[in-house]
Amino acid sequence: MDALKVLVARRAPTAVLERLSARFDVDYHDGEAPLTADELRARLQGRVGVYITGTERITAELLDACPDLRVVSTMSVGYNHIDVPACTARGVLVTNTPDVLTETTADLGFALLMATARRMSEGERLLRDGGWKSWSWDFLAGSEVHGTTLGILGMGRIGQALARRGRFGFNMNIAYHNRSRLPADVEAELGARYLSKEDLLKQADHLVLVLPYSAASHHAVGGPELALMKPTATLINIARGGIVDEDALAAALRDKRIAAAGLDVFEGEPKVKPVLLTLPNIVLTPHIGSATMPTRLAMAGLAADNLLAALTGGVAPTPVNVPVQRQAA
């Protein structure tokens, strides 16, 4: 029997390629740049499975042009780049990589919070530019972190990991808003208070966005929401760029209506709006939330596990959808 044909649409660790190649006929895109939509469609012809990252978009149109596709395995926890309902309707299984990146992404979220509150990027720029001339009492004086209120918008796995860091590491008061409330025992363990979104915006000293991106969360934080925040507050986004209205944020930062922001994700990434680059009170990182070698290897390994299990009669460890059975041709 001929080996099943799969496409690895993005660079992957050698060990993952070896595992997939031992079982499948693998077409490997080894380029630095992601495949364009046209290239992806062409390379998916006759392929039953695809390994992607958060960059490649799987649309209904693409699915219709690639009728052999049965499994989409993304090496990411987020799956807003995949039209999941369209996959489900066509019997295509979607899998993602939750859990393995939770703690690492929470680490980055906290690092960004600290760097933003304590003006670390501003200080480094000043030092490198030769601008550190002397000491004064308010030199680079930032915001307090310990003992303040950590607001978390979106209290899934990463939100809870952030809450633990805030509560047990920094003695912070934890407040959150989420579509659904956490069970009482989890709230008690985290010392987390459930607030309305409006109250969370008003009360947070540091507000971290960790909610999934969808049409419902598009620009969930824009002008009206920023207007509710304290002028001393910081805003951290480690979720998806589209959750924040970047123009409204730039205006709020420029006018000091909030103190500072830390962004790891951008609406048009990898392009970043020039206005964001001009503001001193903003810390910018290039979407590195899950970027440690052990975590990236674990994510890639899990994406391969999903593809292997789903295409060889097993049960994919981390499915996103439960597709309806494909009709026999």
Catalytic site positions: 240, 269, 287
Q: Is residue 98 within 8 Å of residue 74, measured between CB atoms?
A: no
Within 39-58, the residues that bind ligand 8YV by CB under 6 A are: 53-54
**Piece of the chain touching ligand 8YV by CB under 6 A; list 11-19, 69-77, 183-191, 274-282:** 69-77
309 DSSP 8-state letter: H
Contacts for 316-319 with beta carbons within 8 Å, 24 or more apart?
Answer: 316/71, 316/73, 316/93, 316/95, 317/95, 318/95, 318/96, 318/97, 318/98, 318/99, 319/93, 319/94, 319/95
Closest CB to ligand 8YV among residues 9, 174:
9
The verdict on 157 binding ligand 8YV (CB under 6 A) reads no
Compare residues 109 and 142 and give the one whose CB is closer to ligand 8YV.
109
Q: Is there binding between residue 78 and ligand 8YV (CB under 6 A)?
A: yes
Q: Which residues of 53-70 are buried (b: 16+ CB within 10 A; e: fewer)?
A: bbebebeeebbebbeebb
Residue closer to ligand 8YV (CB basis): 176 or 213: 213
- Six-digit token string for 298: 């674990």
244, β-bridge pairs: 221
Q: Fill in the DSSP letter of residue 160.
A: H
Work out whether 13 is an interface residue with ligand 8YV (CB under 6 A).
no
Provide CB contacts within 8 A for 34, sequence distance 6+. Answer: 9, 10, 53, 55, 56
| Rounded least distance, CB 115 to ligand 8YV, Å | 19
Distance of CA 147 to the CA centre of its chain: 27
Query: In terms of Cα–Cα distance, which of 284, 275, 165, 194 is closest to 235?
Result: 284
* Residue 76 in contact with ligand 8YV, rule: CB under 6 A: yes
Distance CA 307, CA 71 (A): 7
The least distance separating ligand 8YV from the CB of residue 28, rounded to whole angstroms, comes to 17
Interface with ligand 8YV: number of residues (CB under 6 A): 10
* Cα separations in angstroms, 65 against 61, 68, 113: 6, 9, 44
Which listed range, 32-40, 76-84, 85-93, 224-232, lies at the site for ligand 8YV (CB under 6 A)? 76-84
Site for ligand 8YV (CB under 6 A): which residue of 17, 77, 244, 250?
77
The residue among 190 and 238 lying less far from ligand 8YV, judged by its C-beta, is 238
Restricting to residues 88-147, name those near ligand 8YV by CB under 6 A: 101
User: Which residues from 272-291 bind ligand 8YV, rule CB under 6 A?
Assistant: 287, 289-290
In whole angstroms, the minimum distance from the beta carbon of 3 to ligand 8YV comes to 26
- Nearest to ligand 8YV of 34, 166 (CB atom): 34
Q: How far is the CB of 72 from ligand 8YV (least distance, A)?
A: 13
* Contacting residues toward ligand 8YV, per CB under 6 A: 53-54, 75-78, 101, 287, 289-290
